C-alpha cells in the first residue's frame, strides 16, 4: 500500500513539473514571436536555426498525435531521459513509480530536480529561438498574410495545425515569406486614363496646337477625351484671334457635330464652345445652320439642367443681332412656357433671350400674337428680387413701345384673349401690378417703374 502511495506522489510530481514547463514554454514562445515578427533583416538566418531547433517538435505530423504532452528535446540526452516520462494508466503507472522509488532519494528531491532541469532546458532553448508547441493547438503567426499598415511578415494569428503543414518543408516557407514581405503594406488601385491629353484645358494654344485638338476631337469616341477637348476649345474661343483660327481650321462643324450626341455633358460643353465662338459675326453665319436644332434640344431637355442653360446662352448670343431671330420665331410659346416653369436662373436667362426679340420691331406682331400662360402676371409681384423685376419691366416696356410704333393697338381684334397682347395691353392687370411697384423699397426698381408708367 505504501508503494502505491509513493507511485501516486511521483506521478503527481511529474504532472506538476510538466505543467510548470508548459507555462514557461508559453511565456517564452510569446516573447520570441513578438521579436520574430518585427525582425525582418535576419529572417533567413532565424528560419534556418528555428528549423534545426524544432526538428523534434513538429505538431500534428508525428506518430504520437493521439496522446497529450509528448514533447521531446533532442538537444540534450539528460533532458530527454527526464522529460520522456509519459503518463500511462493502470499498471504502467505503478511500474514507472516503482523505478523512481528505487533510486534511493526522496520523492520531493526528485520532483524539485525534475522541475529545475526542465526550467533550465526551456530557458536555454528559448534563448536560441526555438518554438515549442503542442498538438492541441498552439497559436502561431501566419507568414503569408501581410499586416495592413505594418512591416509585412503578417500579424494574423492562426492555429499550429495549419502551420505545421507549411513547416514540413523549409523551402516552401521561404517562398511564402518572400512573396508577402516584398509587397507593399497597402496597395490601392490607381485609375489610369487610356489617353493623356497633350494640353491643359486653360492653355492658350496656337494654330498648330488647335489643329491637333480638333483632329483628336474628330477621331475619338471617348467621352472623357471629347469633354476635355471641347473645354479646351471653348476656353481658347474666348479670345478673338482664336475665334477666327478655329473657324478657318474647320472646327465649327466638328464641334457642332457633337450637339447630336445623347451624352448631356458632351452637349453642354459643345454648346459652351459654340457660345464663345458665336461672339464673332462671321462665326454666327456658320452656326446659324444649327440654331434650330439647338433650340429644339433646349426646349425638350431636362428642365433647369446645365444643358438647357448652355443652350439658352447660345440662343441669346445668336439673337443679339436681328439677322437670325426669324429662325426662332416658331418657338415663342415655348419660351414663355419655360419662363413660367423654370427656376430663378432659367427665368433670368429666358427673359434676356425674349428681350432680344422685343428690341426688334419687326418681330413684334409674331411675339404679341403667341399664346402665353396667364400666370406670367405673377412676375410683377414685389416679392421678386431686383433682377427679375428689372427684366420683366424692360420686356413690358419694349413690347408697349413696339405696339405703339407699329400701330397694333388699332388691330386688337386680331389677337386672342390668351395672347401676350391681351395680357399686357388689354387686361389692365399688368398696369395695376406695375403701379403697385411704385412704392418698392429698391430705388432702382422704383425708378424703372416710374419710367414705364410715364410711357403708358
Q: Please, are residues 387 and 423 in contact by the beta-carbon 8 Å criterion?
A: no
CA-CA distance, 230 to 273, in Å (whole number)?
7
CA-CA distance, 196 to 181, in Å (whole number)?
34
CA-CA distance, 15 to 103, in Å (whole number)?
19
pLDDT of residue 2: 66
Sign of the Cα torsion 417, 423, 426, 427 reads positive
CB contact burial 192-214 (16+ within 10 A = b; e otherwise): eeeeeeebeeeeebeeeebbebb
Grid coordinates representing 248 are: 478657318
Q: Which residues of the chain have pLDDT under 50?
A: 38, 41, 45-105, 128-193
**By C-alpha distance, which of 453, 361, 451 is closest to 408?**
361
CA-CA distance, 202 to 234, in Å (whole number)?
10
Count how many Cα atoms sit within 13 Å of the Cα of residue 446 in the half-sphere of its side chain.
6
Ordered DSSP codes for 382-425: TTS-HHHHHHHHHHHHHHHHHHHHHTGGGGGGGS-TTBHHIIII
pLDDT of residue 198: 78
Look up cell 485609375; give the residue: 191
Give residues with Cβ within 8 angstroms of 294, minimum separation 6: 259, 271, 274, 311, 314, 315
Strand runs (DSSP E) across 160-251, as ranges? Answer: none
> Cα separations (Å) of 53 from 20, 130, 173, 272?
21, 5, 16, 76
CA-CA distance, 275 to 287, in Å (whole number)?
9
Ordered DSSP codes for 368-389: HHSB--GGGGGGGSTTS-HHHH
Sign of the Cα torsion 156, 128, 83, 169 reads positive
Q: Is 276 exposed, middle or buried (0-12, 13-18, 19+ CB in 10 A)?
A: buried
pLDDT of residue 261: 93
417-438 residue pLDDT tens = 899 999 988 878 899 999 999 9
Give residues with Cβ within 8 angstroms of 343, minimum separation 6: 304
Q: Where are the alpha helices (H) located in 222-331, listed in sequence order?
A: 223-236, 240-248, 251-256, 264-277, 281-287, 291-300, 306-318
CA-CA distance, 100 to 6, in Å (whole number)?
9
Amino acid at each position: 500500500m505504501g508503494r502505491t502511495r509513493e507511485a501516486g506522489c511521483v506521478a503527481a510530481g511529474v504532472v506538476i513539473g510538466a505543467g510548470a514547463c508548459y507555462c514557461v514554454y508559453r511565456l517564452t514562445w510569446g516573447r520570441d514571436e513578438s521579436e520574430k515578427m518585427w525582425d525582418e533583416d535576419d529572417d533567413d538566418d532565424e528560419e534556418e536555426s528555428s528549423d534545426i531547433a524544432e526538428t523534434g517538435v513538429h505538431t500534428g505530423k508525428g506518430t504520437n498525435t493521439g496522446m497529450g504532452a509528448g514533447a521531446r528535446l533532442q538537444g540534450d540526452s539528460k533532458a530527454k531521459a527526464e522529460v520522456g516520462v509519459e503518463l500511462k494508466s493502470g499498471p504502467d503507472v505503478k511500474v514507472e513509480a516503482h523505478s523512481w522509488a528505487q533510486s534511493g532519494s526522496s520523492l520531493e528531491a526528485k520532483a524539485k530536480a525534475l522541475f529545475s532541469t526542465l526550467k533550465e532546458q526551456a530557458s536555454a532553448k528559448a534563448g536560441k529561438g526555438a518554438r515549442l508547441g503542442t498538438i492541441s493547438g498552439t497559436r502561431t503567426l501566419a507568414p503569408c498574410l501581410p499586416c495592413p499598415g505594418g512591416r509585412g511578415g503578417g500579424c494574423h494569428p492562426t492555429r499550429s495545425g495549419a502551420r505545421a503543414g507549411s513547416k514540413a518543408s523549409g523551402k516552401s516557407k521561404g517562398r511564402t515569406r518572400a512573396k508577402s514581405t516584398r509587397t507593399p503594406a497597402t496597395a490601392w488601385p490607381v485609375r489610369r486614363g487610356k489617353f493623356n491629353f497633350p494640353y491643359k484645358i486653360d492653355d492658350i494654344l496656337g494654330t498648330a496646337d488647335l489643329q491637333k485638338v480638333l483632329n483628336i476631337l474628330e477621331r475619338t469616341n471617348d467621352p472623357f477625351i471629347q469633354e476635355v477637348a471641347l473645354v479646351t476649345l471653348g476656353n481658347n474661343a474666348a479670345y478673338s484671334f482664336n475665334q477666327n483660327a478655329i473657324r478657318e481650321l474647320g472646327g465649327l462643324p466638328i464641334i457642332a457635330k457633337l450637339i447630336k450626341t445623347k451624352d448631356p455633358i458632351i452637349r453642354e460643353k459643345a454648346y459652351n464652345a459654340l457660345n464663345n465662338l458665336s461672339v464673332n459675326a462671321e462665326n454666327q453665319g456658320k452656326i446659324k445652320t444649327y440654331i434650330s436644332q439647338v433650340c429644339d434640344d433646349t426646349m425638350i431637355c431636362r428642365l433647369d439642367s446645365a444643358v438647357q442653360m448652355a443652350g439658352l446662352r447660345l440662343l441669346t448670343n445668336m439673337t443679339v443681332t436681328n439677322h437670325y431671330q426669324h429662325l426662332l420665331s416658331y418657338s415663342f410659346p415655348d419660351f414663355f412656357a419655360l419662363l413660367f416653369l423654370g427656376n430663378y436662373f432659367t427665368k433670368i436667362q429666358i427673359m434676356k433671350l425674349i428681350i432680344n426679340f422685343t428690341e426688334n420691331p419687326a418681330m413684334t406682331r409674331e411675339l404679341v400674337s403667341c399664346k402665353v400662360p396667364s400666370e406670367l402676371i405673377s412676375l410683377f409681384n414685389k416679392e421678386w428680387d431686383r433682377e427679375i423685376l428689372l427684366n420683366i419691366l424692360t420686356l413690358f416696356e419694349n413690347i408697349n413701345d413696339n405696339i405703339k410704333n407699329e400701330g397694333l393697338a388699332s388691330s386688337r381684334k386680331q389677337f386672342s384673349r390668351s395672347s401676350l397682347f391681351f395680357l399686357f395691353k388689354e387686361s389692365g392687370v399688368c398696369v395695376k401690378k406695375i403701379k403697385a411697384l411704385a412704392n418698392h423699397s429698391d430705388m432702382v426698381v422704383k425708378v424703372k417703374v416710374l419710367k414705364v408708367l410715364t410711357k403708358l
